[in-house]
Homo-oligomer: A and B are copies of this chain.
């Protein structure tokens, strides 16, 4: 696949932001990663924050699309199956483009207030779907009694930790990680593992 210059910028920037942090990365670092002059980079992006904004928005769209797919694929199914689809979808987004996902998770607070508020609202809406499913499953007796906001925070944080250590060329495949994290997540909620 041929990447456009914009995509190259986002890929290089994701990897730099992941390794050295947003605050610790300059536009010059990004330009150097692309082997161009800082001035040339400004032909493509208005500011470093615009690059962060593009990465974060793209990641938000992927999480949202994935949970929509999980919902559609398990409409009417039992809470355990629906939660499994949520976890697989979430872990899939994390591992498919771990640089982008890492920046979304760890650097969204570096956005300027207006953009931070917009992403914060989307993050809340996403987390609310998890709380809702946990509440439903808990009420239906499919999960152990729990505090849905705490349980959702516990699960999502545990999953998001994957971005701190996952490497596509590491010893564990994305598939193996997803399988283990599905088990841990279902058990966290006291759900029976599926046979």
Contacts and interface: CB of A to CB of B under 8 A. Distances in A.
Nearest to A24: B23
Nearest to A158: B158
A155 to B, nearest CB: 7
A86 interface: no
A147 B158 CA distance: 15
Interface stretch (A4-12, A40-48, A114-122, A185-193): A185-193
A15 interface: no
A157 B150 contact: no
B23 A181 contact: no
Contacts of A92: none
A180 B94 CA distance: 26
A54 interface: no
B177 A150 contact: yes
Contacts of A160: 157, 161
A108 B180 CA distance: 28
Interface in A104-162: 110, 144, 146-147, 150-151, 153-158, 160-161
Interface of A: 21, 23-24, 110, 144, 146-147, 150-151, 153-158, 160-161, 164-165, 172, 177, 180-181, 183-185, 187-190
27 contacts: A21-B21, A21-B23, A21-B110, A23-B23, A23-B24, A24-B110, A144-B183, A146-B180, A146-B184, A147-B180, A150-B181, A151-B184, A153-B161, A153-B165, A154-B158, A154-B161, A154-B184, A156-B161, A157-B157, A157-B160, A158-B161, A158-B188, A160-B161, A184-B189, A187-B188, A187-B190, A188-B188
